[in-house]
Amino acid sequence: MPEQTSALLALVLSGGAVAPRRGLLDMHLNPVRCLAAGAPAWRAAGLAENQIQRLRKPEEAELQRALQWLDHPRHHLIGWQDPDYPALLKQISSPPLALFVDGDPTLLWHPGVAVVGSRSPTAGGRDNARTFARAFVAAGVSVISGMAAGIDAAAHEAALQDNGMTIAVLGTGPDLAYPHANTGLHARIAESGVLVSEHVPGTPARPSHFPSRNRILSGLSLGTLVVEAAERSGALITARQAVESGREVFAVPGSIHNPMARGCHRLIREGAALVESPAEVLAAVSTMAGELAHALRGRLDEAAQRPHLGPDKAVIRLAPDYQQLWLALAHDPTPMDLLVERTGLTAADLSSMLLVMELEGRVAVEHGRYSRKS
């Protein structure tokens, strides 16, 4: 809906405090109604005068640049009021008004673990980031990080190398790679993962953006793993924000002689879980993963409208699309493209549904292939 998109962009470009603009959306339900409500309603919602002036007259160049970026089929703008806004992110104390997404926005509902740490890690720290990331994607959990140099980049790279899911939360607009050395990584994540930002396209990196970026990173995640961090590290900000959002924080211990381990040791002293293996992290986040699956199941059931094939005794209580998918699955591993062909559903729909069925114990996944569990 171009009118809704333009109206949401106007709300985003008005800048300033986010809470009043979220409140405006809660009151009027969609962006077009928010704009139509006029200045008295904007003031009543708590918008400042400078926000009201920008709502009346959005910056035309920024608006057109954002609309041009959104014209690409992989590019999306997900607003606070959108049913596809990630359920976990809604639970944090200061959720963003909207997300610019390069990739499939439904993948932001996929259970993931944030992997963060030093921009200048030791060789051992890099190896640990890769090991944990590979284990997470092998278990069907996405790797979420900030695409910074060092630990972030190592975790993203390892996930991509194993054909796993990775999500990069950016402190720039979604179209810009930062640091510039990660231009290639940015392009690869755009192609097979998800890039997400609260900033409009074209927004450059600014120091204030990164602590703010970290709240989204931890908010999208079931838990945050700090691999290596100095005593003063942005990773510790991410960990603190994870705790404030009620999420698990994990830290990998290191040598007492390694300055890059001191931040992790501090977190452990403050109550973070000391972990030595990916299995410990996966076990700890399993409860929240189940809660996410329940929320996702509700969203998909609400949206499901397609006719289905005949019922199957094993899935008689499933929604129609789930019955159709169950019948398309075999006991031998089946690739996604074949499931698309058998069901007529989109890969995005199937990915979300398979996630739910995997978390419910109905489906097994291995190397991107899916099969029924007995």
What three-state secondary structure class fits 264? helix
Q: Model's pTM, two decimal places?
A: 0.79
- CB of 108 closer than 8 Å to CB of 205: no
What three-state secondary structure class fits 258? coil
Q: Tally the C-alpha atoms within 13 A of residue 303's C-alpha that lie toward its C-beta.
A: 14
| 279 and 309, same domain (yes or no) | no
| 200 and 171, same domain (yes or no) | yes
Q: What CATH number does residue 113 fall under?
A: 3.40.50.450
Q: Indicate whether 298 belongs to any domain.
A: no
Bridge partners of 168? 145, 195
Provide the number of structural domains found in the chain.
3
| 119 and 268, same domain (yes or no) | yes
Q: What CATH number does residue 363 fall under?
A: 1.10.10.10
Q: Indicate whether 90 belongs to any domain.
A: no
Q: Indicate whether 202 belongs to any domain.
A: yes
Q: What is the dihedral sign for C-alpha 151, 157, 163, 169?
A: positive
| 46 and 189, same domain (yes or no) | no
| 117 and 233, same domain (yes or no) | yes
- Looking at residue 117, its pLDDT comes to 94
- Residue that has been written with the tokens 């986040």 in this structure: 285
Last residue in a domain, options 53, 71, 89: 71
Q: Which alpha helices (H) appear in the chain, and where do they start and end?
A: 2-13, 18-28, 31-44, 49-56, 60-70, 87-90, 123-138, 151-161, 183-192, 209-219, 234-244, 262-269, 278-303, 320-328, 336-343, 347-359
Domain hosting residue 12, numbered range: 1-71
- Looking at residue 303, its pLDDT comes to 53
| 109 and 250, same domain (yes or no) | yes
Which residues in the chain show pLDDT less than 50? Answer: 305-317
Last residue in a domain, options 284, 313, 329: 284
| 239 and 327, same domain (yes or no) | no
Q: Give per-residue pLDDT as tens, 136-154.
A: 998 889 999 999 999 999 9
Nearest to 154 by CA among 120, 111, 107, 110: 120
- For residue 292, CA distances in Å to 112, 243, 287 come to 10, 18, 9
Provide the residue count of the chain. Answer: 374
